[in-house]
Amino acid sequence: MSVGYVAIQWNRHKRVYDACIAGGVVLYLSVFMLAGKAFYRGAHAISDPILAMRALATCAFLMLHVVLCLGPLARLDRRFLPWLYNRRHLGVATFLVGFAHAFLAIGFYHGFGVIPPLVSLLSSNTNYTSLASFPFEILGALALGILFLMAATSHDFWLRNLGARAWKRLHMLVYVAYGLLVMHVALGILQAQRSWWPAALVGIGVATVVGLHLVAGMRERRHDEAGTRRVTPDGENWVAVACVDDLAEARGCTVTVGGGERIALFRHDGGISATTNVCAHQGGPLGEGKIIDGCVTCPWHGWQYRPRDGQSPPPFTERIETYRVRVLDGRIEVDPRPLPPGTPVEPARIADRAG
Ligand code: HEM
Ligand code: FES
């Protein structure tokens, strides 16, 4: 809940997270180099720069898979949530490792001629109409450009300046970068006529990313369809969304009303409150959070809002939408029309359950 530009705040969690990333990268590169030297011997020996280039390339590509899989994994199993909190650090690290690979590749393949390396990269191969000799490096360069854009705008400062919606759209480009990289790698393998297993590994990676997104998406869809619309005689649009007994004290849950709108419900102090499911920070799923110190606490980075009015506790000023909610015969019903952010709503008393 920052109020202006502040440098990245490293806390213990983030330090441990970053140390894990750095340690993992160093370990991966070392094992790859040692194993590569043992594997590529004799007539198949390859030079150290090419081995390092491949080590960095596969490391960055693997990291991108982890970045992409963390979202659906956290939706399917809450134990992955801590890994999602600082996913941006993993994204920036992916860009840096990818950049090191690209730097080495450009230096090695384009750095020894009379033409400047970047000009050589763009002009040495223009066979855009042939798959067998397509300039696959350009696809890597485009992907790197997108990863750079995302790394450069990953700080909350940009989130605030661009607005959550534009920022999110920009960061969805990661899927475009992924598609470009899959083509970059697949064409690279095809053109080098490498053995079948690197292609098989890429196939497994793509199937994992696509499969996890499909499974998580289907599960959310089933969940979304569970909401049932009910119009009361007075013409008000109340939607029965859950039972009081579905909700544990100080816990949240997510329900969906018409149009796929997600609402977060919270049970606390003998009452039920409803707010938007979308955190004002980076759109984290508030319904997957819990009540801490009387406040709805986002599971991603811990931003807090009072359940009664959707306002962050002072000195913070963020506000989220609230919803009218009532309890009838143990059923929780919400009016799906969001109230302006920060609007106070009296929690529905659970004691009202008898109707
Ligand atoms: C300007 C940007 C880039 C250039 C010029 C470039 C160039 C290359 C080249 C020349 C190869 C073949 C290396 C070999 O001889 O085996 C390659 C392979 C590869 N690149 Fe890139 N690349 C770029 C960006 C990226 C990025 C951003 C990633 C990942 C995040 C990436 C991932 C890979 C992978 C996974 C391979 C296959 C490695 C292997 O065959 O073991 N590249 N790239
Ligand atoms: S998305 Fe970051 S705290 Fe909610």
DSSP code, position 339 = B
Phi-psi region of 259 (alpha: psi -120 to 50; beta: other; left: phi over 0): left
Task: Name the residue with the closest Cα to ligand 2, atom 2.
Answer: 301
Task: Name the residue with the closest Cα to ligand 1, atom 38.
Answer: 54
Residue ranges per structural domain of the chain: 12-223, 228-354
Phi-psi region of 283 (alpha: psi -120 to 50; beta: other; left: phi over 0): left
Q: How many A from CA of 1 to the centre of ligand 2?
A: 9
Q: Which atom of ligand 2 is nearest to 282's Cα?
A: 1
Q: Among 12-21, 91-100, 147-156, 285-294, where is mean pLDDT lowest?
A: 12-21
109 lines ligand 1 (CB under 6 A): yes
CATH code assigned to 12-223 = 1.20.120
Could you report the per-residue pLDDT of 252-296, keeping only the tens digit for each? 888 888 766 889 999 998 899 999 999 988 788 899 888 999 999
How sure is the predictor about 73, in pLDDT bands with cuts at 50, 70 and 90?
A: very high
Structure tokens at 144: 């790197």
Domains 12-223 and 228-354 share a fold: no
The model's pTM is 0.76
303 lines ligand 2 (CB under 6 A): yes
Please tell me the chain's helix, strand, coil percentages from 3-state DSSP, rounded to the nearest 5.
55, 15, 30
Tell me the HSE value of 126 on the side-chain side, using a 13 A CA sphere: 5
CATH code assigned to 228-354 = 2.102.10.10
Mean pLDDT computed over every residue of the chain: 87
Instruction: Using the predicted structure, report yes or no on whether residue 228 has a pLDDT greater than 70.
Output: no
Point out the ligand nearest to the CA of residue 81. 2
Which residues neighbour 44 within 8 Å (Cβ) at sequence distance 6 or greater?
Answer: none
Pocket test for ligand 1, best of 58, 137, 194, 201 (most atoms within 8 A of CB): 137
Task: Name the residue with the closest Cα to ligand 1, atom 42.
Answer: 140
Task: Name the residue with the closest Cα to ligand 2, atom 3.
Answer: 301
Which residues neighbour 103 within 8 Å (Cβ) at sequence distance 6 or greater?
Answer: none
295 lines ligand 2 (CB under 6 A): no
